[in-house]
Amino acid sequence: MFGWFGKKSDAQLIERHAQVVANKRAQAPDRWDAIQALSQLRAQATKDAARERIVAIVAALLPRFTYYTDPTITDQEEKDLAFRVILDGGADGVPAIRTFMQRSEALIWPLKMLDRLLGPEEVIGELLALLEPMDTEYQRDPQRKLQLLQALEDRRDPRIAAAVARFFEDVNETARFHAVSAVLAQAEAEAHREAAAKLLPGEESVRVKGRVLERFMERGWDLGTARPSIEKQPPPGWSVAASGIPARR
């Protein structure tokens, strides 16, 4: 690791401050000073165009987003400062953010960073790369998958529908909900219309059914083969028009 730096002391300083930043039980003033020190090291690394050093500094700051401390205002101030320092490092810090997201359960803050440092298409590419190895089977803690699906729900890109549609069959109800929301909001949703309709007869979740019906209604799609099951037992607040298109009561 020391070979990355012009000065051995830089690597030692970064490592020392990283340990404080990552320590939830450290004194708040000590963590603040460590973040400030890393900010100064980042400024010098930027001046030196030392990309490897910037990556190491960003990697040292990212663990601060994995825990909460009291009081809440101190927690937010520390995270805001770390966030600004990381953004000031520019796109050179993206490799560290990418590595962090591959193993961390805390994706919200890193995603905010990518949104500021990369273009929309690049960010979606990063999200889909993280989602690709995940499956639809039971997980004790599916939070990473749920955060990714929810993030994709609010974005539009030709790659999303094809990548996310398989999660229609996810064991987790929340994953199914966000998958349906994401896929049926895309311009390419038509290709997955039949798969979405097939969910309805056997789907136990009222909110998943409701989201499918909502998207069908918005697009003016009839329910096709799913119509009899919805007419027989419509979710609360829903009915089926004569055209076969879902309608709110």
- The reply to whether 27 falls in a domain is yes
Q: Which one has a higher pLDDT value, 145 or 5? A: 145
82-85 long-range Cβ contacts below 8 angstroms, 24+ apart? 82/21, 82/35, 83/109, 83/112, 83/113, 85/35, 85/38, 85/39, 85/42, 85/57, 85/61
Q: Do both 159 and 199 map to the same domain?
A: yes
Predicted local confidence at residue 8, as pLDDT: 55
What residues contact residue 40 under an 8 Å CB cut-off, 6+ apart? none
Rounded Cα gap, residues 122 and 120, in angstroms: 5
Average pLDDT, the chain: 95
pLDDT tens per residue across span 68-116:
999 999 999 999 999 999 999 999 999 999 999 999 998 999 999 999 9
Inform me whether the pLDDT recorded for 209 exceeds 70. yes
How would you class 14 by CB atoms within 10 Å of its CB: exposed for 0-12, middle for 13-18, buried for 19 or more? Answer: buried
Residue that is written with structure tokens 């919805």 in the block: 230
For residues 70 and 155, state if they share a domain.
no
Q: Which of 104, 107, 141, 142 is nearest to 127 (CA)?
A: 107
Same domain for 104 and 9: yes
Looking at the fold, whether 161 and 233 belong to one and the same domain comes out as yes
The answer as to whether 139 is a domain residue is no
Helix (H, G, I), strand (E, B) or coil at 205: coil
Q: What is the pLDDT of residue 9?
A: 79
pLDDT at 189 > cutoff 90: yes
Has residue 52 been placed in a domain? yes
Domain that includes residue 189, residue range:
146-249
Let me know if residue 177 belongs to a domain.
Answer: yes
Task: Locate 74 and state its tokens.
Answer: 């101190």
Of 118, 136, 164, the domain-final residue: 118
* Residue 13 domain flag: yes
- Residue 204 included in any domain: yes
Q: Are residue 151 and residue 103 in the same domain, yes or no?
A: no
List, for residues 126-181, the tens digit of each pLDDT value.
999 999 999 999 999 999 999 999 999 999 999 999 999 999 999 999 999 999 99
